[in-house]
Amino acid sequence: MTKAPAALFDVDGTLLDTVYFHALAWWEALRQHDRTVPTARVHRAVGMGSDQLLDHLLGEERDHGDDDAITAAHDALYARFWPLIQPLPRAAELLRACADRGWQVVLASSASERELTVLRRALDADDVIAAATSADDVSATKPAPDLLRIALDRVDASPEHAVFIGDTVWDVTAAGRAGVACVTVESGGFAAQELLGAGAAEVHRDTAELLADLDRSALARPAG
């Protein structure tokens, strides 16, 4: 019996315009704990969960004693932006179009469950979201493949009958490790050349362009 096909969506930077809010919140949280990291470096780490991001920015061999405090500071600073969060162009329409074509729509986010609740409210597309995973569901977030594997399990989908839509090289790497094709958008700040170089099958400017190109994309119709 063929398993149900799934369209797995990253959330931050892919469906919602939050990347630079995260970059500022992480930069300030690090500064508060006497870690000076250029904002540009912080931005390019967004898309990882805190478990991966701090190692990436500060090194794995550091003193980890402040990790929880830095993460808590980020969460408090980022929460100040919640009233400003907006979906990216036609993001909810894209999810509904995928559902109409027979895809099970699944959110696979490195956000915490608390943050994901806020993001889903802003997105306003719960009527077509079949399942969701968050950082709270795994011990390692992207670029580890764990979130994608759990997302597939939750809708009984196999990697060959799934597509992951993301905005960072971390998303592309996670998809590759999970054996899932990856469609990308540039709305997270990574250039097309970087995303293709990491292994993305396609790159679109944003969700609106992907929706307009849907018939020519990997999301045109579910495989199998």
Encode pLDDT of 166-209 as tens digits.
999 999 999 999 999 999 999 999 999 999 999 999 999 999 99
Residue type, 187: S
Band the pLDDT of 62: cuts 50, 70, 90: confident
Q: How far is CA 207 from the centre of its chain?
A: 13
For residue range 114-146, list pLDDT tens digits in order: 999 999 999 999 999 999 999 999 999 999 999
pLDDT tens per residue, range 65-109: 999 999 999 999 999 999 999 999 999 999 999 999 999 999 999
CATH 1.10.150 range(s) for the chain read: 19-83
Q: What is the mean pLDDT of the chain?
A: 95
pLDDT of residue 49: 84
Instruction: Please state, in angstroms and rounded to a whole number, the distance separating the CA atoms of residues 208 and 219.
Output: 14
**How sure is the predictor about 2, in pLDDT bands with cuts at 50, 70 and 90?**
low
CATH superfamily of 6-17+86-216: HAD superfamily/HAD-like (3.40.50.1000)
Cβ contacts of 26 within 8 Å, gap of 6 or more: 42, 45, 46, 53, 57, 74
Rg of the chain, C-alpha, whole Å: 17
pLDDT tens for 147-171 read: 999 999 999 999 999 999 999 999 9
The pLDDT of residue 221 is 81
**Burial of 83 (C-beta count, 10 Å sphere; 0-12/13-18/19+):** exposed
Give SS3 for 198. helix
pLDDT at residue 3 greater than cutoff 90: no
137-159 as b/e: b if 16+ CB within 10 A: bbeebbbbbbbbbbbbebbebeb
Residues of the chain with CATH 3.40.50.1000: 6-17+86-216
Split at pLDDT 50, 70, 90, the class of 4 is: confident
What CATH number is given for 19-83 in this structure? 1.10.150
30-54 per-position pLDDT tens digit: 999 999 999 999 999 999 988 899 9
